[in-house]
Amino acid sequence: MPVVSQGGAPGLVVEAKSLFKRYGASLAMDGIDLQVHPGEIYGLIGPDGAGKSSLLKSVAGVLAHDAGDLRVFGCLLDSERACEQVKDRIGLMPQGLGQNLYGDLSVEENIDYFGGLRLLTDEQLSSRKEALLRSTRLERFRDRPMKNLSGGMKQKLGLVCTLIHEPKLVILDEPTTGVDPVSRREFWSILARLLKEKGITALVSTAYMDEASRFHRVSLMHAGKILASGDPEQIKTMASGCIVSTVCQDTAQQVEAVRRLSAQFPQMEVLGQELRIFVDAADSVEATAHVQQCLQGLALSATEVLEPELEDVFIALLRQRKLSNGASDGAHPENTSAASNDSALHRHADNGPAIEAENLSRTFGEFKAVDQVSFSVPQGEIFGLLGANGAGKSTVIKMLTGILSQTDGKGRVAGADMRTAGRQIRERIGYMSQAFSLYLDLTVLENIRLYAGIYGLTRKQTAERIDWILDMAGLRPFGKALAASLPMGLRQRLALGCALIHRPQVLFLDEPTSGVDPLGRRAFWEVLFRLSREENVTILVTTHYMSEAEHCDHIALMYAGRVVADASPDQLKLNVAQEAGNLYELHVVQAAQAPQVVERLQGAGFGSAALFGARVHVLLPDPEQELPRVHAALQDLEIQKILPKRLSMEDVFVHIVTKLEAADAKARGEQA
């Protein structure tokens, strides 16, 4: 059905004017203005409580707004009857892995059920189902129960069920949260292809700032308002300033460098040995000089000026427009040290490796979840354990913490074998699980006191640690608030505080920031850095956010229960560059041609070509010889420029895992 207009701007799929929505005293939408054009992927990005989900539900016709005008396909949504008129042209995929699916039904049964709900004929359902199963590579799994699918496969099935009636507008609420990078990249590739083939428009929210590059236009949201709108490249120019990157390889000097920089620059982050500083209102020369002057006397290397990423711009806009009000909104806790005033008394000593895994294995019946995993983590290091859904990361953590016994091999933590470790060694370990860490029906203070009692802290120790946690997590204004009422970012920092209440020597964090917005994640990692560098706490962390992997000193990448790569982030990038080539980014003049660019490049033998909105990424082993081939393959398409780009940890992850998946597929005699 074509887009029709009954008022408002002609041809728009979505048009919102001065949209308001209030929940009690909270203003979820505060004068939202938005226009979504046919055929585009429009992204909504912002922290928890920004109003993204409320806006999506309003557009979907399942939530009534309080004031303002909202038109979808030209129809004014001012009543339930009006909403019903557009729902057959809308597909809604709610937030959460498989939330719109039924766990006990198979892949095919779920699709059939949604086809029936949409009153499709048998012929329509059969043809669309087979096409979508092929597009998402779910054909082999049509008989598998949904509850037994990986996170990425659940989301692909959710997308199939959302698209089965061929809607003209698909609404996706954080569709890739909790999904590994390979599955995320595949999800967006599938979505872009299907939207182009069917002429579908998409309105999407996401917690991953790096995904914004895949959207044609985006709106940055905060506290119910739209902070900025435009294509990602336009938005990157809206904050005045630039990024200065420098490397400080000495740990003690890095701590001093962070102390100095924090006093002068309100926006900076530590990525392993690299320091990234946003310098307000300065050109590259002035910014570099300012940073070098601040760090005078310290040993630095590889200082350079970088283009700000969208996350950098978002945070800078919040600061520069004075929309962030500190810890009260969960975005920025006070910039206090993770260590208390007497931190020197509690710095953990270096007594050999803090964590050791030696041929660690675990089987469940015939299934080998962990297969001879070995690695070693020195005291005070931030160690990242990465892998796709089902790779075995959580099982490794459960064995190292003594929650799960190993089938074979050894695991030692803080010098003790976890098979025989008693209560004393367990008191040296902090654990923040993926699924459960807090009692949501208790207040912030009640949760902290509960954990203090579990670890046997005295009344004096409890009072000291409560003060420390409230300051560290930016929770002082929320002591009497229920944990369930906190934004996800604050809730996770409370969970971290509870895991640290007994000052453990080793801290295990299993996907601690899944579902946390970009501001909350950055604040969370500031705390982890200080714990590692100032208190010498060893941290083992799993994550699906590849930007977070950059924070780690060392990384082990798992695949199918095995460790397949083990090195620092910089070394992993170097290894991939030597094996697969340097990364290049193609700027496509017309965004609609970007999918065709990918197809042309892949057809010309560049298998690594991947779509990122109006840009395309490709790895070139020999740029001097292969760039002419790239130009030849795209000679009739408009390419604005082709530039070299830094490899990211997502590029590393995708390259390694995709290569292993292809090898497995070949071994099974399948088409990779």
Residue 112 has pLDDT above 90, yes or no: yes
Query: What does the pLDDT average to over 637-648?
Result: 89
CATH 3.30.470.20 fits 573-667, yes or no: no
For the segment 605-624, the average pLDDT, to the nearest whole number, is: 87
pLDDT digits (tens, 9 = 90+) for 500-541: 899 899 999 988 887 676 777 788 888 889 889 888 999 999
Return the top range by mean pLDDT from 176-180, 356-360, 593-597, 640-644. Answer: 356-360
Q: Which CATH number fits domain 240-307: 3.30.70.790, 3.30.70.260, 3.40.50.1980, 3.90.870.10?
A: 3.30.70.790
| Ranges of each domain in the chain | 14-233, 240-307, 343-567, 573-667
**Residue 246 · residue 300 · CB < 8 Å:** yes
Better-predicted residue by pLDDT, 338 or 29: 29
- H-assigned helices in 474-517: 488-499
323: confidence class by pLDDT, cuts 50, 70, 90 = very low
**In the predicted model, is pLDDT for residue 336 greater than 70?**
no
Each residue of 249-300: pLDDT tens digit? 788 888 899 999 989 998 999 988 889 999 987 788 999 999 999 999 888 8
* Digit-coded pLDDT (tens) for 135-152: 888 888 899 999 888 777
Residue linked to tokens 């890095």: 254
Taking only the tens place, the pLDDT of each residue in 362-386 is 998 888 899 999 999 999 999 999 9
**Is residue 330 scored above 50 in pLDDT?**
no
**Checking phi first, is residue 178 left (phi over 0); if not, alpha (psi -120 to 50) or beta?**
left
In this predicted structure, the answer to whether residue 229 has a pLDDT above a threshold of 60 is yes
Decide if pLDDT at 600 tops 60. yes
* CB within 8 Å of 405: residues ≥ 6 apart: 399, 419
Percent residues over pLDDT 90 in the chain: 42
415 pLDDT band (50/70/90 cuts)? confident
Domain pair 240-307 / 573-667, same fold: yes
Instruction: Write down the pTM of the prediction.
Output: 0.81
Give residue 423's pLDDT.
67
Give the strand pairing for 201-206 and 41-45.
parallel
The pLDDT assigned to 334 comes to 40
Task: Specify the CATH number of the domain 14-233.
Answer: 3.40.50.300
User: Does the structure show a pLDDT above 60 at 469?
Assistant: yes
pLDDT confidence of residue 2 = 42
Using CA atoms, how far apart are residues 213 and 233, in angstroms rounded to an integer? 8
Q: Reduced to 3 DSSP states, what percent helix, strand and coil does the chain have, rounded to the nearest 5?
A: 40, 25, 35
CATH topology (fold) of 343-567: Rossmann fold (3.40.50)
